[in-house]
Amino acid sequence: MAWHKSTWRRRMNARTLRWAASKAVVAAAPALKRVTNFYGAGVAVADAAERMIYANDRLYETPLRAEQTNFIRDYCQSNDLGFSETYWQTPWRFSLEQFELRDATFLGHTGRLIDRDLRGVVTEWGEADSINRDKISVLRQGPALEAVALPVPRFNNNFHFLIDAATPIIDYFESGAALGGPHVILTAANQKTFATETLAALSAHYGAELRMVAPNEKVLCSQAVFYRRRRPASAWFPVTRETADKLREILLAHFGRTADLARRRLLYLRRGQEKLRNLTNTAEMDALMARHDFEAFQPAASNFADQVSLCAEAQTIVAVHGAALANILFAPPGTRVVEVFGRKGCKSGYLSICHRLGLEHVISIGGEDDGDQNFAADLDHLDASLSPPAD
Protein backbone atom coordinates (compact mmCIF):
# COMPACT_ATOMS: atom_id res chain seq x y z
CA MET A 1 0.00 0.00 0.00
CA ALA A 2 2.87 2.37 0.83
CA TRP A 3 4.20 2.14 -2.72
CA HIS A 4 0.85 3.15 -4.18
CA LYS A 5 0.58 6.12 -1.80
CA SER A 6 4.09 7.27 -2.71
CA THR A 7 3.31 6.99 -6.43
CA TRP A 8 0.10 8.94 -5.97
CA ARG A 9 1.89 11.72 -4.07
CA ARG A 10 4.49 12.05 -6.83
CA ARG A 11 1.77 12.34 -9.45
CA MET A 12 -0.23 14.90 -7.48
CA ASN A 13 2.54 17.31 -6.41
CA ALA A 14 2.19 20.97 -7.40
CA ARG A 15 4.99 20.95 -9.98
CA THR A 16 3.64 17.91 -11.81
CA LEU A 17 0.13 19.36 -11.90
CA ARG A 18 1.48 22.72 -13.14
CA TRP A 19 3.44 20.92 -15.87
CA ALA A 20 0.39 18.93 -16.98
CA ALA A 21 -1.80 22.04 -17.09
CA SER A 22 0.77 24.10 -19.02
CA LYS A 23 1.34 21.28 -21.48
CA ALA A 24 -2.39 20.95 -22.10
CA VAL A 25 -2.79 24.70 -22.67
CA VAL A 26 0.14 24.91 -25.09
CA ALA A 27 -1.00 21.79 -26.95
CA ALA A 28 -4.43 23.36 -27.44
CA ALA A 29 -3.02 26.75 -28.45
CA PRO A 30 0.66 26.59 -29.56
CA ALA A 31 0.77 30.36 -30.02
CA LEU A 32 0.56 30.72 -26.26
CA LYS A 33 3.96 29.10 -25.74
CA ARG A 34 5.83 32.41 -25.69
CA VAL A 35 3.07 34.26 -23.87
CA THR A 36 3.13 31.77 -21.01
CA ASN A 37 6.94 31.42 -21.05
CA PHE A 38 6.53 27.67 -21.42
CA TYR A 39 9.54 26.21 -23.20
CA GLY A 40 9.34 22.56 -24.13
CA ALA A 41 11.40 23.17 -27.28
CA GLY A 42 15.14 23.47 -27.73
CA VAL A 43 17.15 25.96 -29.77
CA ALA A 44 20.44 24.77 -31.26
CA VAL A 45 23.41 26.65 -29.84
CA ALA A 46 24.69 27.38 -33.36
CA ASP A 47 21.41 29.25 -34.05
CA ALA A 48 21.35 31.06 -30.70
CA ALA A 49 25.04 32.04 -30.60
CA GLU A 50 26.69 35.31 -31.48
CA ARG A 51 29.76 33.43 -32.75
CA MET A 52 31.88 30.33 -32.26
CA ILE A 53 34.88 30.98 -30.01
CA TYR A 54 36.91 27.91 -30.94
CA ALA A 55 36.77 24.21 -31.72
CA ASN A 56 39.45 21.82 -30.41
CA ASP A 57 39.17 19.40 -33.31
CA ARG A 58 41.17 16.20 -32.72
CA LEU A 59 41.63 13.10 -34.84
CA TYR A 60 42.27 9.69 -33.25
CA GLU A 61 43.56 6.90 -35.43
CA THR A 62 44.73 4.21 -32.96
CA PRO A 63 42.31 1.29 -33.45
CA LEU A 64 40.64 -0.74 -30.74
CA ARG A 65 41.67 -4.33 -30.15
CA ALA A 66 39.60 -7.02 -31.88
CA GLU A 67 37.86 -8.10 -28.65
CA GLN A 68 36.89 -4.50 -27.92
CA THR A 69 35.46 -4.05 -31.41
CA ASN A 70 33.50 -7.28 -30.98
CA PHE A 71 32.27 -6.11 -27.56
CA ILE A 72 30.80 -2.94 -29.08
CA ARG A 73 29.36 -4.74 -32.09
CA ASP A 74 27.77 -7.60 -30.13
CA TYR A 75 26.74 -5.95 -26.86
CA CYS A 76 26.76 -2.15 -26.91
CA GLN A 77 25.06 -0.73 -29.96
CA SER A 78 21.52 -0.61 -28.57
CA ASN A 79 22.76 1.28 -25.48
CA ASP A 80 25.42 3.44 -27.14
CA LEU A 81 23.04 4.85 -29.75
CA GLY A 82 25.89 5.13 -32.23
CA PHE A 83 25.68 7.55 -35.14
CA SER A 84 26.47 4.67 -37.51
CA GLU A 85 26.75 0.91 -37.36
CA THR A 86 30.55 1.14 -37.66
CA TYR A 87 31.31 3.97 -35.24
CA TRP A 88 34.03 1.89 -33.55
CA GLN A 89 36.18 1.99 -36.69
CA THR A 90 38.97 4.55 -36.98
CA PRO A 91 39.68 7.31 -37.67
CA TRP A 92 37.59 9.09 -35.02
CA ARG A 93 37.09 12.83 -34.97
CA PHE A 94 36.26 14.56 -31.67
CA SER A 95 35.60 18.24 -31.10
CA LEU A 96 34.45 20.49 -28.27
CA GLU A 97 33.08 23.68 -29.82
CA GLN A 98 32.67 26.77 -27.61
CA PHE A 99 30.11 29.45 -28.51
CA GLU A 100 29.44 32.97 -27.21
CA LEU A 101 25.81 33.84 -26.46
CA ARG A 102 24.44 37.31 -25.73
CA ASP A 103 21.56 38.28 -23.44
CA ALA A 104 20.60 34.72 -22.51
CA THR A 105 18.54 34.01 -19.40
CA PHE A 106 19.88 31.55 -16.82
CA LEU A 107 17.18 29.56 -14.98
CA GLY A 108 18.00 28.87 -11.34
CA HIS A 109 15.84 25.77 -10.98
CA THR A 110 17.69 23.83 -13.68
CA GLY A 111 20.79 25.83 -14.59
CA ARG A 112 19.76 26.00 -18.25
CA LEU A 113 19.78 28.95 -20.65
CA ILE A 114 16.89 30.49 -22.59
CA ASP A 115 18.06 32.25 -25.75
CA ARG A 116 17.72 36.03 -26.10
CA ASP A 117 14.81 35.77 -28.55
CA LEU A 118 12.88 33.71 -25.97
CA ARG A 119 12.49 30.85 -28.43
CA GLY A 120 13.40 28.11 -25.99
CA VAL A 121 16.08 26.29 -24.06
CA VAL A 122 19.57 26.36 -25.61
CA THR A 123 20.82 22.82 -26.29
CA GLU A 124 23.63 21.32 -28.36
CA TRP A 125 21.60 20.44 -31.42
CA GLY A 126 18.18 21.99 -30.75
CA GLU A 127 16.54 18.92 -29.27
CA ALA A 128 13.64 19.46 -26.85
CA ASP A 129 14.64 19.67 -23.19
CA SER A 130 11.96 18.26 -20.90
CA ILE A 131 13.86 19.41 -17.77
CA ASN A 132 12.60 22.98 -18.16
CA ARG A 133 8.97 22.18 -17.52
CA ASP A 134 7.82 25.14 -15.40
CA LYS A 135 6.73 28.55 -16.58
CA ILE A 136 9.81 30.70 -16.20
CA SER A 137 7.65 33.79 -15.76
CA VAL A 138 7.12 32.77 -12.13
CA LEU A 139 10.87 32.99 -11.43
CA ARG A 140 12.11 36.14 -9.70
CA GLN A 141 14.34 38.31 -11.91
CA GLY A 142 17.76 38.77 -10.33
CA PRO A 143 20.21 41.55 -11.27
CA ALA A 144 21.70 41.31 -14.74
CA LEU A 145 25.15 39.73 -14.92
CA GLU A 146 27.73 41.84 -16.74
CA ALA A 147 30.59 39.33 -16.44
CA VAL A 148 31.16 36.37 -18.79
CA ALA A 149 28.91 33.57 -17.50
CA LEU A 150 29.91 29.91 -17.60
CA PRO A 151 26.52 28.26 -16.98
CA VAL A 152 26.46 24.84 -15.30
CA PRO A 153 23.20 22.84 -15.25
CA ARG A 154 22.08 20.88 -12.21
CA PHE A 155 23.51 17.34 -12.13
CA ASN A 156 22.60 14.27 -10.07
CA ASN A 157 25.29 12.09 -11.61
CA ASN A 158 29.03 12.52 -10.99
CA PHE A 159 30.05 11.12 -14.37
CA HIS A 160 27.91 13.51 -16.39
CA PHE A 161 28.93 16.46 -14.23
CA LEU A 162 32.67 15.81 -14.67
CA ILE A 163 32.35 15.14 -18.41
CA ASP A 164 29.63 17.66 -19.27
CA ALA A 165 30.63 20.56 -17.01
CA ALA A 166 34.03 20.31 -15.29
CA THR A 167 36.21 19.29 -18.24
CA PRO A 168 34.63 21.80 -20.69
CA ILE A 169 35.37 24.62 -18.20
CA ILE A 170 39.02 23.50 -18.10
CA ASP A 171 39.12 23.30 -21.91
CA TYR A 172 37.66 26.81 -22.11
CA PHE A 173 40.30 28.42 -19.88
CA GLU A 174 43.24 26.30 -21.09
CA SER A 175 42.49 26.84 -24.78
CA GLY A 176 43.69 30.44 -24.67
CA ALA A 177 40.45 31.54 -26.34
CA ALA A 178 38.67 32.73 -23.17
CA LEU A 179 36.63 35.91 -23.57
CA GLY A 180 37.94 39.05 -21.91
CA GLY A 181 36.61 40.44 -18.65
CA PRO A 182 35.77 38.80 -15.33
CA HIS A 183 34.20 35.34 -15.36
CA VAL A 184 31.42 33.91 -13.22
CA ILE A 185 30.66 30.20 -12.97
CA LEU A 186 26.89 30.35 -12.70
CA THR A 187 25.08 27.31 -11.34
CA ALA A 188 21.95 26.15 -9.56
CA ALA A 189 22.06 26.41 -5.77
CA ASN A 190 20.72 22.87 -5.36
CA GLN A 191 23.77 21.12 -6.83
CA LYS A 192 25.20 17.94 -5.31
CA THR A 193 28.29 18.15 -3.07
CA PHE A 194 30.69 16.74 -5.71
CA ALA A 195 29.59 19.49 -8.11
CA THR A 196 29.87 22.40 -5.68
CA GLU A 197 33.30 21.23 -4.46
CA THR A 198 34.61 20.87 -8.02
CA LEU A 199 33.19 24.21 -9.15
CA ALA A 200 34.71 25.90 -6.10
CA ALA A 201 38.08 24.39 -7.02
CA LEU A 202 37.81 25.49 -10.66
CA SER A 203 36.67 29.01 -9.80
CA ALA A 204 39.55 29.48 -7.35
CA HIS A 205 42.13 28.10 -9.78
CA TYR A 206 41.02 30.22 -12.74
CA GLY A 207 40.17 33.38 -10.78
CA ALA A 208 36.44 33.21 -11.52
CA GLU A 209 33.58 33.97 -9.16
CA LEU A 210 31.25 31.09 -8.24
CA ARG A 211 27.65 32.23 -7.96
CA MET A 212 24.82 29.96 -6.83
CA VAL A 213 21.38 30.94 -8.16
CA ALA A 214 18.31 30.11 -6.10
CA PRO A 215 15.70 27.78 -7.68
CA ASN A 216 13.14 30.59 -7.83
CA GLU A 217 15.45 33.07 -9.59
CA LYS A 218 16.56 33.80 -13.13
CA VAL A 219 19.54 35.89 -14.26
CA LEU A 220 20.02 37.77 -17.53
CA CYS A 221 23.58 37.16 -18.80
CA SER A 222 25.04 39.80 -21.12
CA GLN A 223 27.62 37.20 -22.23
CA ALA A 224 27.56 33.45 -21.73
CA VAL A 225 29.64 30.54 -23.00
CA PHE A 226 27.98 27.37 -24.24
CA TYR A 227 29.54 24.35 -25.91
CA ARG A 228 28.67 21.60 -28.37
CA ARG A 229 30.41 18.24 -28.69
CA ARG A 230 31.05 16.24 -31.82
CA ARG A 231 31.94 12.57 -31.42
CA PRO A 232 31.35 9.22 -33.16
CA ALA A 233 28.64 8.04 -30.75
CA SER A 234 26.53 9.60 -28.02
CA ALA A 235 28.38 7.56 -25.37
CA TRP A 236 31.86 8.75 -26.45
CA PHE A 237 33.07 12.02 -24.93
CA PRO A 238 35.87 14.36 -26.10
CA VAL A 239 38.00 14.33 -22.95
CA THR A 240 41.79 14.47 -23.30
CA ARG A 241 44.77 13.34 -21.22
CA GLU A 242 45.77 16.97 -20.69
CA THR A 243 42.32 17.94 -19.41
CA ALA A 244 42.10 14.92 -17.08
CA ASP A 245 45.56 15.65 -15.63
CA LYS A 246 44.60 19.28 -15.04
CA LEU A 247 41.36 18.30 -13.31
CA ARG A 248 43.25 15.93 -10.99
CA GLU A 249 45.84 18.61 -10.21
CA ILE A 250 43.19 21.25 -9.42
CA LEU A 251 41.12 18.98 -7.18
CA LEU A 252 44.09 17.59 -5.24
CA ALA A 253 45.25 21.14 -4.52
CA HIS A 254 41.73 22.19 -3.53
CA PHE A 255 41.39 19.34 -1.04
CA GLY A 256 44.94 19.78 0.26
CA ARG A 257 45.87 16.27 -0.85
CA THR A 258 48.96 14.83 -2.48
CA ALA A 259 49.16 11.72 -4.63
CA ASP A 260 52.11 9.35 -4.85
CA LEU A 261 51.88 8.23 -8.46
CA ALA A 262 54.38 5.45 -7.72
CA ARG A 263 52.23 3.88 -4.99
CA ARG A 264 49.95 1.98 -7.44
CA ARG A 265 46.92 0.95 -5.39
CA LEU A 266 44.60 -1.96 -6.21
CA LEU A 267 41.13 -0.43 -5.87
CA TYR A 268 37.72 -2.09 -5.87
CA LEU A 269 35.04 0.60 -6.16
CA ARG A 270 32.27 -1.15 -4.33
CA ARG A 271 28.71 -0.41 -5.36
CA GLY A 272 26.17 0.29 -2.62
CA GLN A 273 22.50 -0.60 -2.88
CA GLU A 274 21.56 1.54 -5.84
CA LYS A 275 18.39 1.65 -7.92
CA LEU A 276 20.08 -0.16 -10.82
CA ARG A 277 22.96 -2.56 -11.55
CA ASN A 278 23.43 -4.17 -8.15
CA LEU A 279 25.39 -7.42 -7.98
CA THR A 280 23.40 -10.46 -6.91
CA ASN A 281 26.62 -12.16 -5.71
CA THR A 282 28.06 -9.24 -3.74
CA ALA A 283 29.49 -11.35 -0.90
CA GLU A 284 31.34 -13.61 -3.32
CA MET A 285 32.63 -10.58 -5.24
CA ASP A 286 33.89 -8.98 -2.01
CA ALA A 287 35.69 -12.21 -1.09
CA LEU A 288 37.33 -12.43 -4.52
CA MET A 289 38.57 -8.85 -4.31
CA ALA A 290 39.98 -9.46 -0.82
CA ARG A 291 41.78 -12.58 -2.03
CA HIS A 292 43.51 -10.49 -4.70
CA ASP A 293 44.46 -7.85 -2.10
CA PHE A 294 42.17 -5.17 -3.48
CA GLU A 295 41.27 -2.22 -1.28
CA ALA A 296 37.45 -1.96 -1.15
CA PHE A 297 36.13 1.59 -1.29
CA GLN A 298 32.54 2.76 -1.69
CA PRO A 299 32.29 6.18 -3.37
CA ALA A 300 29.73 8.55 -1.83
CA ALA A 301 28.92 12.25 -1.83
CA SER A 302 30.70 12.60 1.51
CA ASN A 303 34.07 11.18 0.38
CA PHE A 304 34.71 12.88 -2.97
CA ALA A 305 38.17 14.06 -1.85
CA ASP A 306 39.10 10.43 -1.09
CA GLN A 307 37.86 9.34 -4.51
CA VAL A 308 40.22 11.78 -6.19
CA SER A 309 43.30 10.97 -4.10
CA LEU A 310 42.82 7.18 -4.08
CA CYS A 311 42.23 6.89 -7.82
CA ALA A 312 45.19 9.18 -8.49
CA GLU A 313 47.37 6.40 -7.01
CA ALA A 314 45.64 3.50 -8.76
CA GLN A 315 47.33 0.66 -10.56
CA THR A 316 44.10 -1.27 -11.13
CA ILE A 317 40.48 -0.17 -10.67
CA VAL A 318 37.64 -2.72 -10.63
CA ALA A 319 34.03 -1.48 -10.69
CA VAL A 320 30.58 -2.30 -11.97
CA HIS A 321 29.58 0.00 -14.83
CA GLY A 322 28.23 3.22 -13.33
CA ALA A 323 28.98 6.79 -12.32
CA ALA A 324 31.72 5.73 -9.86
CA LEU A 325 33.94 4.92 -12.84
CA ALA A 326 34.10 8.64 -13.60
CA ASN A 327 37.01 8.49 -11.15
CA ILE A 328 39.18 7.03 -13.91
CA LEU A 329 39.66 10.66 -14.96
CA PHE A 330 41.98 10.97 -11.93
CA ALA A 331 43.95 7.79 -12.66
CA PRO A 332 47.49 8.05 -14.05
CA PRO A 333 48.37 6.73 -17.53
CA GLY A 334 48.73 2.95 -17.66
CA THR A 335 46.11 2.25 -14.98
CA ARG A 336 44.18 -0.97 -15.61
CA VAL A 337 40.39 -0.47 -15.53
CA VAL A 338 38.26 -3.62 -15.17
CA GLU A 339 34.64 -2.75 -15.98
CA VAL A 340 31.99 -5.26 -14.91
CA PHE A 341 28.73 -5.54 -16.88
CA GLY A 342 25.55 -7.55 -17.04
CA ARG A 343 24.87 -9.00 -20.48
CA LYS A 344 22.16 -6.49 -21.46
CA GLY A 345 23.54 -3.28 -19.97
CA CYS A 346 26.82 -2.91 -21.86
CA LYS A 347 28.04 0.53 -22.98
CA SER A 348 31.36 1.58 -24.47
CA GLY A 349 31.68 5.09 -23.03
CA TYR A 350 34.37 4.22 -20.47
CA LEU A 351 36.19 2.05 -23.02
CA SER A 352 36.40 5.10 -25.29
CA ILE A 353 37.66 7.32 -22.44
CA CYS A 354 40.29 4.74 -21.42
CA HIS A 355 41.45 4.49 -25.02
CA ARG A 356 42.15 8.23 -25.24
CA LEU A 357 43.56 8.62 -21.72
CA GLY A 358 46.10 5.81 -22.11
CA LEU A 359 44.39 3.46 -19.65
CA GLU A 360 44.05 -0.30 -20.18
CA HIS A 361 40.38 -1.29 -20.37
CA VAL A 362 39.32 -4.85 -19.50
CA ILE A 363 35.76 -6.06 -20.12
CA SER A 364 34.07 -8.56 -17.80
CA ILE A 365 30.52 -9.55 -18.77
CA GLY A 366 28.45 -11.36 -16.14
CA GLY A 367 25.04 -12.99 -16.16
CA GLU A 368 21.65 -11.90 -17.50
CA ASP A 369 20.20 -8.69 -16.09
CA ASP A 370 16.83 -8.60 -14.36
CA GLY A 371 14.33 -5.76 -14.78
CA ASP A 372 16.48 -3.42 -12.66
CA GLN A 373 19.70 -4.46 -14.46
CA ASN A 374 20.85 -6.45 -11.41
CA PHE A 375 23.14 -9.35 -12.35
CA ALA A 376 25.78 -11.77 -11.11
CA ALA A 377 29.41 -10.97 -11.89
CA ASP A 378 31.42 -13.65 -13.68
CA LEU A 379 33.79 -14.47 -10.82
CA ASP A 380 35.80 -17.01 -12.80
CA HIS A 381 36.56 -14.48 -15.51
CA LEU A 382 37.45 -11.81 -12.97
CA ASP A 383 39.68 -14.24 -11.07
CA ALA A 384 41.58 -15.04 -14.25
CA SER A 385 41.78 -11.34 -15.23
CA LEU A 386 43.23 -10.31 -11.87
CA SER A 387 45.63 -13.22 -11.42
CA PRO A 388 49.27 -12.56 -12.36
CA PRO A 389 50.27 -14.20 -15.64
CA ALA A 390 51.84 -17.66 -15.35
CA ASP A 391 55.60 -17.86 -15.92
Q: Where are the domains of the chain?
A: 39-235, 245-385
Contact (CB, 8 A) for 327 and 315 = no
The H or E element that residue 389 is part of is: none
List C-alpha distances in Å: 308 to 147, 169, 170, 267, 314.
31, 18, 17, 12, 10
3-state secondary structure 43-72: EEHHHHCCEEEEECCEEECCCCCHHHHHHH
Instruction: Establish how many alpha carbons lie within 13 A of residue 65's alpha carbon, considering only the half-sphere containing its beta carbon.
Output: 9
CATH 1.10.10 fits 245-385, yes or no: no
Per-residue pLDDT of the chain (391 residues; tens, 9 = 90+): 344 444 555 556 666 676 677 667 666 776 665 555 555 678 999 999 999 999 999 999 999 999 999 999 999 998 998 878 889 999 999 999 999 999 999 999 889 999 998 888 899 998 876 655 556 677 889 889 999 999 999 998 899 999 999 999 999 999 988 999 899 999 999 899 999 999 999 999 999 999 999 988 999 999 999 999 999 998 899 999 999 999 999 999 999 999 987 788 999 999 877 778 899 999 999 999 999 999 999 998 889 999 999 999 999 999 999 999 999 999 999 999 999 999 999 999 999 999 999 999 999 999 999 888 899 999 999 999 998 765 5
- Rounded to two decimals, what is the model's pTM? 0.88
